[in-house]
Structure formats: structure tokens, C-alpha cells
Amino acid sequence: MPGGRLTKQERQQIALGVADDLSYAEIARRLDRPTSTVTREVMRNGGPGGYRAEVAHRATERRAHRSRQAAPRAAQAAPQAHGRDAAAVADFEEALTGVLIASGLTKMTARVLTCMFTTDAGSVTAADLVQRLQVSPASVSKAITYLEGQGLVRRERDEGRRERYVADNDVWYQSTIASARANDQLAATARQGVVVLGASTPAAARLENIARFLDFISENIIRAAEQAREVLHTGPAATPSDAAGTGEPDR
């Protein structure tokens, strides 16, 4: 299986595969590449709806150039916590940022949210984000304001009265419920159309079917969200070394 960077020709094949709605696994098989390589390539370069081979290739060349320039500084960087592979972490963060951009966030807000999702501390300060992302305080402030408005982050004060930003895990529950409520509203509106168009007409039958479908989906989404909500607040699993450190026997 070939390794190394993707070539321009391979990116063109990926673009064709995405346009033909092929799975990442199938595209990877045709290129004799790992599926993860194709997935990461697409998600870091616009996602399925925005991937362009030429743009992706130029972006990769720019990243490689920046990496070469930053190599001396990176060599002096502190090692990753928990023995993590720095390159693997960087690749993951870039892939996650790409997914968030594809979902509708701007690049800066996606980068900020990625930082917040991947911090072990659970919260960050504006200074943390400025240092980690190498951007201006104004850029961070604008991104945080937007994310806060969307309910994706909240502000807290630590003991030193410094403002810290927290990515609230419960936001996924709240956004899921909000999505279900939006479906409820659409279903109710569809049923208004049934009355207006006449219950025995084909158009009314179509709207009633839509409403019934949305009712079913909403009920199940809400039920599943309620059942799974506690998963969002589950801490990391204890390891044998953790148990040894607390003096508690392994179970």
C-alpha cells in the first residue's frame, strides 16, 4: 500500500469519486490508500460538498511550507500530555475542524471549538486560545461571541476572576431537542395545509404523510436523547494505574 503525501492526480480521483457519491472506502480501495487518508483529505478540504482537487492540493502545499518554516520552533515544543503523538493530534484536530466547517461554521469558530473539544482542562481562557491558534485576541473574541450566541460555549469565572470558556457537553442534548421541536412545528404546519387543501386531495395526503413521518421521528429522537443524556457527562474510564494511585483495589 503506497504511503506518503497524496499526489495531485490522486486528489483528482478523490474529487471524481466524491462527485459520483462513492463511499470513502471505495475511493480508498481504488487508490490503494487507507480509508482514513481519504476521509481526512476530504473533511479537511471543504467536506463532501466543497471538495476541489486543485484547491486541496494548493492548501496542502501551503501547509507543508508552513510546517517547514515552523520546524525549528516545533522541535522545542513541549511534549504532548499523556504521551500522545503530536502529529496524530494535529491531524485529528485538522480533520475535526474540517468537519465543523462542513457543518456550517466559519474556519475561525471551527478552530476555536476544536480547541475546546480537545482540551483536557475542560475550559480555556482567551489567552490560551490566542497562544494555541496564533491568532489575534479580536479573532478569538468574535468567534467566542458567535459560539456563545449559538449555545455552543458558555463563560465562567475562575477563582482568580479570569474569564474562562467552556464547551458545554449538554449543548448536544439541547440542540437535539431543538431539532425535534422544529420538526414538530413543521408537522403542525403541514397539517394546516391538509385542512386548507382538502383532506381527500393528493396534495393533502402528501402533507399528512409528511406530518406523520415527522411525528414519529421527533418522538423517537426525544426519547433517545432523554435516555442517552447522561452519556454526555460520563467521565473517562479509570485505568489500573489510576486505581493503584488511589490505593483502591482493581475490580
pLDDT in tens, 86-127: 888 888 888 888 888 887 888 899 999 999 888 888 789 999
Hey, what's the cell of 68?
A: 517547514
Note the pLDDT of residue 75: 41
Task: Scan for cell 511550507, then name that residue.
Answer: 65
Q: Is residue 162 packed enough to be buried (19+ CB in 10 Å), middle (13-18) or exposed (0-12)?
A: exposed
57 has pLDDT over 80: yes
Question: CA 113, CA 166: separation in Å to the nearest integer?
Answer: 10
Mean pLDDT of 69-82: 54
Over pLDDT 70: what percentage of the chain?
86
Q: Which helix (H) or strand (E) holds 166?
A: strand 163-166
**Given pLDDT bands bounded at 50, 70 and 90, which one contains residue 156?**
confident
Mean pLDDT of 72-87: 64
pTM of the full structure: 0.56
Note the pLDDT of residue 241: 53
Positive or negative, the CA dihedral 119, 123, 127, 129 is positive
108 in Cβ contact with 135 (< 8 Å): yes
Going by the DSSP 8-state scheme, the letter that residue 199 receives in this structure is T
Hey, what's the cell of 100?
A: 465543523
> Which has more confidence, 94 or 188?
188
Mean pLDDT of 47-61: 84
Going by the DSSP 8-state scheme, the letter that residue 230 receives in this structure is G
> Which has more confidence, 41 or 170?
41
Positive or negative, the CA dihedral 112, 117, 119, 123 is positive
Positive or negative, the CA dihedral 167, 170, 172, 177 is negative
Q: What would the pLDDT profile of 202-212 be if each residue is shown by its tens digit? A: 999 999 999 99
Note the pLDDT of residue 112: 93
Question: CA 133, CA 155: separation in Å to the nearest integer?
Answer: 19
126 in Cβ contact with 140 (< 8 Å): yes
Note the pLDDT of residue 76: 45
Note the pLDDT of residue 26: 92
Task: Average the pLDDT over each of 69-78, 137-146, 211-220, 235-244 and give the range with the smallest value.
Answer: 69-78
Task: Scan for cell 421521528, then name that residue.
Answer: 217
Note the pLDDT of residue 97: 87
Nearest to 12 by CA among 54, 46, 45: 54
* Those residues with Cβ within 8 angstroms of residue 6's Cβ, 6 or more apart along the chain or in another chain: 14, 33, 37, 41, 60
103 in Cβ contact with 152 (< 8 Å): no
245 has pLDDT over 80: no
Note the pLDDT of residue 201: 96
Note the pLDDT of residue 193: 96
Question: CA 29, CA 39: separation in Å to the nearest integer?
Answer: 12
Note the pLDDT of residue 251: 43
> In whole numbers, what is the pLDDT of the chain averaged over residues?
83
Note the pLDDT of residue 160: 74
